[in-house]
Structure 1
Amino acid sequence: MKEYKTKNLRNLGIIGHSGSGKTTLAEAILYRTKAIDRFGKVDEENSILDYDLEEKKKKISISTATAQCEWKDVKINLVDMPGYFDFVGEMIQGLRAMDVALIVLSATSGVQVGTEKSWKYVNENDFPRAFYINKLDRENSNYEKTLVSLKDKFGISVVPIQYPIGEEEGFQGVIDLVLNKAMIYNSKTDDIEEVEIPENLRDKVEEYKNMIMEAVAETDEELLDKYFSEGTLSEEELFKGLVEGCATGEIAPVMCGSALTGKGIKTLLDDIIQCFPCPEDILALKAKEISSGKEIDVKIDENGEFSAFVFKTIADPFIGKLSMFRVITGKAKQDIIAYNPNKDKQEKFGAIYFMKGKQQVTTQEIIAGDIGAVTKLQHTCTGDTLCNPKFKIIYKEIKFPEPSMAMAVIPKSKNDEDKISSGLSKLLDEDPTFKISRDVENAETIISGMGETHLEIIASKLKNKFGVEVELQLPKVPYRETIRKVSDVQGKHKKQSGGHGQYGDVKIKFEPRVDGDELEFVDKIVGGVVPRQYIPAVEKGLKECINKGVLAGYPVIRLKATLHDGSYHPVDSSEMAFKMAASIAYKKGMREAEPILLEPIMHVEIIVPDEYMGDIIGDINKKRGRVLGMEQSSNLQKVIAEVPQSEMFKYATDLRSLTQAKGSFTMKFERYEEVPFTEASKIIDEKKEETL
C-alpha cells in the first residue's frame, strides 16, 4: 500500500441492529475495491471479518474486526462491530478508532432497537454519524418509509444524499443526489454504469437535493446568505458543507443500497470520500497533560510527537497479546520506545501491523489518524494511552457498562482450576465488559457479563483457545441464618478417660441482634465461675460455630451471645474443653431460639419506556419483589424495586424479552431478609440432599 497522508484517510465504524447486514456491507466494500478477491459471506462462513470459530458457528459478529481498502487514492479503514446487545463493549471500543459511525439498518425492518441504541451512544459521545439503508433488493423493502422513520426518530439532522432506482426485485442502482448522477449495476459486465435519471424520479431528486442544500446552508452563515439570495449552492459547496456538517454531527447523511448484491456500493464509496470527514476534519480529542494536570484539546496531526490510543486487545494463544491502537499525533514506527501514562511504564514496540480480519500485514510506520496493531506489550491494556516520553499526555479512557448477569464456572475436570484462571485472565484483557470474582463461601469462580450469550461465548473461548471445558451454572445464593427468639442454655463438656480429663461448662444466653450482622459476644461472668483465661476460648468457639447454622449449614448473622455463668475444674479444665462447651451450647441455643433462613435482597433500578411499565411491575411481583417507587428518567421511566437475589440471576434475559431489549437495569445488594416458610423448607431440603 502506497504512503498516505492523514487527509487521504477515512475511518468508518459500521454499527447497527444485529442482522442488518453490517459484515456483508464491509465485505462488499472490500470486494468492490479489490482488497479481497472473493466476496465473503457470513452464511457461507468465509467472511474475512467474522473469522472467529464462534462467529462462524452462530453466524453473528461477536468481536470488532478491522480491514482496509483503497478507493481513488484514499485509504478507507473499516471497523465492523457486533450488533448483538451482549457485545456492546465491542462497539464502544471500536468507535474510539473511528471518525464516522455508519449506522446500518434494513429497509425491510426499518428503525429497530439496535438502531436507536447506536444513535443514542454516538449522540452522547459526539461521534459523527451517517446511515446506510441496506437490503433494498428484498421483498417488502421500503426506502421512503425507512427514511421517514429515521427523520421522525432522530430529527432534522437526517439528510438523504442518495436515492434508490427501483425497489424490491426491481432495485437496480442508486442516484447520487449531490452530483445528479444515476448509477446502475450491469449484471452482464459485473460493473456499474452511469445512466439518465429516470423521468418518474426527477421531481423526487429535485425535492431531496433542496433538502441537502437547506441542511448545508444551516451549518454556515455565508452559505445561508448565498442560498437565500441565489436559491442554490454549487457541488463544491455542498460537499464541503456535508463534510463539515458530518464532522460536527449537525448532518447525518443517509445512503442506500444492497450489500449482498453489491448494488450501490460504488456510489457509497464515492460519497465516503467526498462527504465524510478525514481525521484532520473531526473535532479535537480531549486529553490531560501529565505535568500540569490540565485538560487540553488534541487535533489529529501527523507532524506532532507520537501519541496513540489503544482501543482493543486480542488474546491470541499463538502470538500472545495483540494491542490495536489509533495514532492520534505523529507516527508509530517499529522499535520505538513509548510511555504508557496509565501504568507509568515504558513499552518497546516490536513489529507493527495493519489488520485485515485476522491477517496481520507488516508495515514500517502508521501515521496520525490511521489504525494498526503491535504485539507483546507488557503492561498495556484496552483504554490506555501510548506516547513519546517527551510528550506525556493521557486520553480519556473507555467507560464500559457494568455486567448484568453472573454464572458460576464449573470445570469438567478437577485438575483444570489453574488453566481456567489463566484462560479467564487472558480473556479479560480482550474483553473488559466481563468480570471474574471468587465466591469463597461456596468455592465457586463467578463470571459476570452482559447476558447469557456473552457468558456462553466466554465458556466456548476457554475451550477453543485454552483447551479447558467448563459448565456454566447459576451461582449459589449466599443464604444466611439467624434466630427469632431468646434462649438461655447450658453447654457442658465432660470427658474422663484416664489421666487428665476434660471439663468445660458454660451458660450462654442467645438473642437476636438488631444493630449489626457480626457476632456480639458479651462477657458477664462474675466471681470467677469461668476463669478469665478461658473466656476468649468460649468466644473463639462461638466464632467458629457461626460459620455453620443449624438449619441448612449457612453462616449465622445478627446473633448476640452473653456468657453469664458456668463452672470449671481446677485440673481438667482447658481452653479446648471450654471451646467444646461453647459449641454444645451454640447448637442447643440456636435450635431453641427459633432459627430462620435469610436471603439477600437486591436494590434494583430498571429503566424502561412507558409502554412496558405494566409488564415490568407484574414481573417484579411474580419474582416476590416489591416496587418502592417510580420516577421519570429523561423520556423513560425508572422503576425502583427490591427483589430477592435468587430471582434475579437471569433478569438480563427476562428484561430483554419483556421490553424488546429497550430496558436496562442496575442492581446492588441491599440487606438480608427472612425467606418465606414454603421457600425456606425447599432450600433446607435441597441443602440436606447436597450434603448426603
Structure 2
Amino acid sequence: MAVSAVSRKTPLRRVRNIGIMAHIDAGKTTTTERILLYTGLTHKLGEVHDGNAVMDWMAQERERGITITSAATTVFWGGTGASKNGKGGGRQEGLHTRIPEQHRINIIDTPGHVDFTVEVERSLRVLDGSIALFDSVAGVEPQSETVWRQADKYNVPRIAFVNKMDRIGADFYKAVGTMIDRLGANAVPVQLPIGAEGEFQGIVDLVEMKAVVYLDDLGAEWQETEIPADMQELASEYREKLMDAVADQDEELMMLYLEGEEIDPEQIRTAIRKATLNIQMTPVFVGSAFKNKGVQPLLDGVVDYLPSPLDVPPIQGVGPDGETITREADENGPLAALSFKVQSDPHVGKLTYMRVYSGTLKSGSYVYNTTKGKRERIGRLLQLHANSREQRDEVYAGELVAAIGLSDTGTGDTLVAENEERIVLEEMIFPEPVISQAIEPKTKADQEKLSVALQRLAEEDPTFRVHGDEETGQTIIDGMGELHLEIIVDRLLREFRVDANIGKPQVAYRETIRKRVENVEGRFVRQTGGRGQYGHAVVNIDHNDEGNYAFENKIVGGVIPREYIPSVDKGIQSALDDGAIAGFPVVDVKFELVDGSYHDVDSNEMAFFIAGSMAAKEAIKRANPVLLEPIMDVEVVMPEEFMGDVMGDLSARRGQIQGMDSRGGGQVIRAMVPLSEMFGYATTVRSKTQGRATFTMQFDHYAEVPKSIAAELAERG
C-alpha cells in the first residue's frame, strides 16, 4: 500500500474537522455522498435507498438505510467557482474565485438513530465543528434535540443545513422557526430557497445578495443571477436580520451598517465566522442533497465559518500530580492523542481511531498509554475514506487517523510519546445500558467463538456490555435499545459466523432507598483457635440526591485503622450489586462510616470487607428500599385520524402524555412511558395506524415502580 497524496501537508488554518449530525432520515449520508462527489473523491452517486452509499459501509447499514458507525473520510475543497458557462465545482482550476487555496476537510458521518447516540457523543468529542442537518418538512425532531444538546455540551460551533427542499410540504421558514423555538438556537439564514417542493430551483445568497439557479439535475451546471423580483423584498428583510445578528461582532461593520453604506461581503463573512466560533449564532444554509442543489455552497460555509484546530481552545489534561496541563495544536509540541473509537476489521484486525491534538504521530513508533499505564507500538497509520484506506508515515496535530497494532488501547484512552511528559486527556463518559438479553450459540461448538466475538464487540462499543449470570450460567448482553442488540446479533452472524439465539429483552431495573437510617452494624467474627477473623463497622445510610454512590469516612480516634477503611468501602460497594427487593443493583445511596472496632491480631482487609458488606445489606433493608424502572421519552408522529388510538394505547402502557403538536402535516404525541411496556411497540403502532406512524424513543430517567408491579417483580426476584 503506497503512501498516497493524502499524506501531503495542509497548514492547520486550512484544516476542518467536522461531523454531520441530525435526526434519522434527515439526509446525512446522502449529503456526505454529494460532498464526496463534488470534491472529486467519488465519480458515481451513492444512494441510501439503493443500498450503495459509500459512507454506509457495514452490511447492516446498507440494508437498513441507516448509519450505525461513524465512518471517517478526508476530502479537499478549493471553493465553489463560476466560469462563463456557469459550471461550478470543487476542483476545476481557475474557478476558485473566493477560496483560492485547498482546504482539508475531515468528515465523520454520524448515526441519527437514538440507539447509537454513543457514536454521536464520541464523534463530537474529537471534532472542532459540525453541520446540523434538518428536514425541511419536519424541522427539529427528537434526535435533532439530543445531538444539539450533545454539541452544546462539547461547545461545538455549528452551521445548519435545511435539507430536502424538494419534498412535498417543504417549509424552510418553519424549519428555521423550530430551531429557534425548540433548540433555543440563534438560527440566522445566510441563504433563502428559490421555490419549494417540485419548484425548488436554487438559492439566494444573503451575503453576496445574488441568486444561484441550478440548470441541471447533477448540480454541476448553475448560473449566478440577480435575485428574482418576487423575492427582493423578502431577501432585503432577511439580509437585515443577518446584519443585525453580526453587526455587534465588528464595530466598523456596525458603523457602516448604521450609516447605510455598502459593506464588503468578505467583512460580513468575517463577522459571521466570529459569531459562529463564539457559538453566538448558527448560520443556516438550504438545499436538497438528493437533487444536488446547495451542496457546494454548504462546503464553502464549512471553510468560511467552521473552526480550524487553531480556532478552538487548546486541549487540557491532567498531569502525574493532578495538575492541569494544556496542549496547543502544534505538530512540533509533545505528542497527545485521544482514541475515540475501536473497530474490528476483517482485513487488518483491530483499528483504533484517534485524534492527534498535539505533536506528530509516526508509523512504527512506540507510544505510552497513560490511561492504562501501558507501552504500545503503532504498527501502521491509515488515512480513512469510509471503506477504503491509504497509508500514512506521519500524522500531525489537528488530524484524525486510524492506527493498527494497538492491542490494549480502548475508547477514551490517551497516548503520549514514550519519553515525554505524561498527560491524561479528559475521559469520555458513556450512558449506562437500559436493556439486556440472554444469548447463547445455536450449537455448543460455537461457545468459544461467541465469547471471543462478544468481547471484541464490547471493546468497540462502550454502551454494549457482556457479563455472565452466576445463578443461571447464562451469558447476558446489555445495550441501549432493541435495535442496538438486534444489530449486535446480526454482526455476530455476518462478521464472526456465530449463529446465536437470544432471549426475551429484560429491563435494567434498579433499587434505591427512601429514608435515612443510622448506626447499622456489620460484625464479622470468626475465632476457631489460632488466628481468626475480626471486622466490625457501623454505618449510616441516606439517599444521595446527587446520584450514584458516595462514601464518607467519619471515623475519629482510630477505632478502625486507616488501612482498613478502603476495604469497608469496597465491601459496601459489593453489597450494592444485589438489592433487598428483587436483587437489582442499588443506586443513588450515600454511606457514612461512623464507628467500629478491630482486633490487633485477627483483623485484616478481608474481615473488614465482609463487615462493610454485612452492614450495607442490613442498612438497605431498613431504609425503605424501592424499585426503579427506566422511563423512556417517546415521540410518535402520525396522521391526525389515528391520534385517539395511539393516545389510548400509550395510556394503557402506563404512559404519561407530555404534549401534542403538529409537524409537517402530521400530529405529534410526546409521552413518558416505562421501557417494560414498550417491547413490541413498533408492531403495535404500525397496525394501529396502517403503517403510517413513526416513533422514536430514548431513555429519560429512572422512576419508582408502582407497588403492584414491584410486588410481582419481587416474587420473581
Question: Shorter-chain TM-score category?
Answer: 0.7 to 0.9
Q: Which amino acid aligns with 2:629?
A: V
Give the distance between the partners of 1:12 and 1:252, measured in 2 at CA.
15
| Contact preservation (8 Å) 1:605, 1:666 | yes
Q: Could you say what secondary structure the match of 1:43 adopts?
A: helix
**Who is 2:439 aligned against?**
409
**Who is 1:259 aligned against?**
289
Q: Which amino acid aligns with 1:217?
A: A
Cα shift readout 1:578-614 (whole Å, capped 9, x = no counterpart): xxxxxxxxxxxxxxxxxxxxxx9731364759999x9
Give the distance between the partners of 1:410 and 1:316, measured in 2 at CA.
24
1:336 aligns with 2:341: no
1:65 aligns with 2:65: no
Give the distance between the partners of 2:712 and 2:217, measured in 1 at CA.
76
Cα shift readout 1:531-570 (whole Å, capped 9, x = no counterpart): xxxxxxxxxxxxxxxxxxxxxxxxx999xxxxxxxxxxxx
| Contact preservation (8 Å) 2:636, 2:695 | no
Give the distance between the partners of 1:223 and 1:139, measured in 2 at CA.
40
Q: Which amino acid aligns with 2:198?
A: E
**Who is 1:435 aligned against?**
465
Pick from 483, 488, 502: which aligns with 1:472?
502
Distance 1:662-1:384 versus aligned 2 partners, 3 A rule = same
Give the distance between the partners of 1:398 and 1:652, measured in 2 at CA.
32
Q: Which moved more, 1:90-99 or 1:470-479?
A: 470-479
Q: Could you say what secondary structure the match of 1:415 adopts?
A: helix
Q: What is the CA distance between 1:425 and its match in structure 2?
A: 0.7
1:172 aligns with 2:201: yes
Q: Which amino acid aligns with 2:152?
A: N
1:604 aligns with 2:617: no
Q: What is the CA distance between 1:69 and its match in structure 2?
A: 1.2
Distance 1:367-1:233 versus aligned 2 partners, 3 A rule = farther
| TM-score, length basis structure 1 | 0.72
Q: Which amino acid aligns with 1:3?
A: K
Q: Could you say what secondary structure the match of 2:489 adopts?
A: helix
| Contact preservation (8 Å) 2:122, 2:340 | yes
Q: Could you say what secondary structure the match of 2:342 adopts?
A: strand
**Who is 1:319 aligned against?**
348
**Who is 1:191 aligned against?**
221
1:49 aligns with 2:74: no
Pick from 264, 274, 280: which aligns with 2:310?
280
**Structure 1: segments with no counterpart, 5+ residues:** 480-514, 521-555, 559-599, 631-636, 685-692
1:143 aligns with 2:172: yes
Q: Which amino acid aligns with 1:68?
A: T
| Contact preservation (8 Å) 1:173, 1:183 | yes
1:95 aligns with 2:124: yes
Give the distance between the partners of 2:54 and 2:645, measured in 1 at CA.
42
Give the distance between the partners of 1:450 and 1:99, measured in 2 at CA.
27
**Who is 2:26 aligned against?**
20
Q: Which amino acid aligns with 2:238?
A: Y
Q: Could you say what secondary structure the match of 1:291 adopts?
A: coil
Q: Which amino acid aligns with 2:311?
A: D
Q: Could you say what secondary structure the match of 2:272 adopts?
A: helix
Distance 1:449-1:240 versus aligned 2 partners, 3 A rule = same
Q: Which amino acid aligns with 2:153?
A: E
**Who is 1:563 aligned against?**
none
Give the distance between the partners of 1:355 and 1:403, measured in 2 at CA.
30
**Who is 2:492 aligned against?**
462
Q: Which amino acid aligns with 1:396?
A: E
1:248 aligns with 2:254: no
Q: Which amino acid aligns with 1:51?
A: W
Q: What is the CA distance between 1:651 and its match in structure 2?
A: 9.8
1:268 aligns with 2:298: yes
1:122 aligns with 2:151: yes
Q: What is the CA distance between 1:403 and its match in structure 2?
A: 0.7
**Who is 1:218 aligned against?**
248
Give the distance between the partners of 2:485 and 2:636, measured in 1 at CA.
30
Q: What is the CA distance between 1:331 and its match in structure 2?
A: 2.0
| Contact preservation (8 Å) 1:183, 1:267 | no
1:104 aligns with 2:110: no
Q: Could you say what secondary structure the match of 2:376 adopts?
A: strand
Pairwise CA RMSD of aligned residues? 4.2
| Percent identity of equivalent pairs | 31
Q: Could you say what secondary structure the match of 2:48 adopts?
A: coil
Distance 1:336-1:181 versus aligned 2 partners, 3 A rule = farther
Give the distance between the partners of 1:133 and 1:557, measured in 2 at CA.
50
Give the distance between the partners of 1:148 and 1:621, measured in 2 at CA.
31
| Contact preservation (8 Å) 1:219, 1:250 | no
| Contact preservation (8 Å) 1:320, 1:375 | yes
| Contact preservation (8 Å) 1:287, 1:394 | yes
**Structure 2: segments with no counterpart, 5+ residues:** 79-101, 510-518, 525-579, 583-624, 638-643, 659-669, 687-692
Cα shift readout 1:75-124 (whole Å, capped 9, x = no counterpart): 11111111011111111112223111211111122211111112121112
Q: Which moved more, 1:600-609 or 1:294-303?
A: 600-609
Q: What is the CA distance between 1:181 and its match in structure 2?
A: 3.1
Distance 1:417-1:18 versus aligned 2 partners, 3 A rule = same
**Who is 1:35 aligned against?**
41
Cα shift readout 1:143-194 (whole Å, capped 9, x = no counterpart): 1221222222234621111111221112122222212232222218842332
Q: Could you say what secondary structure the match of 1:409 adopts?
A: strand
Pick from 313, 327, 331: which aligns with 1:302?
331
Q: Could you say what secondary structure the match of 1:371 adopts?
A: strand
Q: What is the CA distance between 1:216 and its match in structure 2?
A: 1.7
Give the distance between the partners of 2:684 and 2:358, measured in 1 at CA.
43
Distance 1:267-1:154 versus aligned 2 partners, 3 A rule = same
Q: What is the CA distance between 1:8 and its match in structure 2?
A: 1.1
Distance 1:611-1:474 versus aligned 2 partners, 3 A rule = closer
Cα shift readout 1:179-210 (whole Å, capped 9, x = no counterpart): 22322222188423322221222222222222
Distance 1:220-1:403 versus aligned 2 partners, 3 A rule = farther
Distance 1:180-1:447 versus aligned 2 partners, 3 A rule = same
Give the distance between the partners of 2:475 and 2:325, measured in 1 at CA.
42
| Count of aligned pairs between the two proteins | 558
Correspondence list, 1:500-515, <5 A? none
| Contact preservation (8 Å) 2:314, 2:329 | yes
Q: What is the CA distance between 1:368 and its match in structure 2?
A: 1.6
| Contact preservation (8 Å) 1:183, 1:194 | yes
**Who is 1:361 aligned against?**
390
Pick from 652, 664, 682: which aligns with 2:699?
664
| Contact preservation (8 Å) 2:162, 2:284 | yes
Q: What is the CA distance between 1:330 and its match in structure 2?
A: 1.9
Q: What is the CA distance between 1:270 and its match in structure 2?
A: 1.6
Q: What is the CA distance between 1:326 and its match in structure 2?
A: 1.1
Q: Could you say what secondary structure the match of 2:446 adopts?
A: helix
Q: What is the CA distance between 1:649 and its match in structure 2?
A: 8.8
| Contact preservation (8 Å) 1:442, 1:476 | no
Q: What is the CA distance between 1:238 and its match in structure 2?
A: 1.8
**Who is 1:445 aligned against?**
475
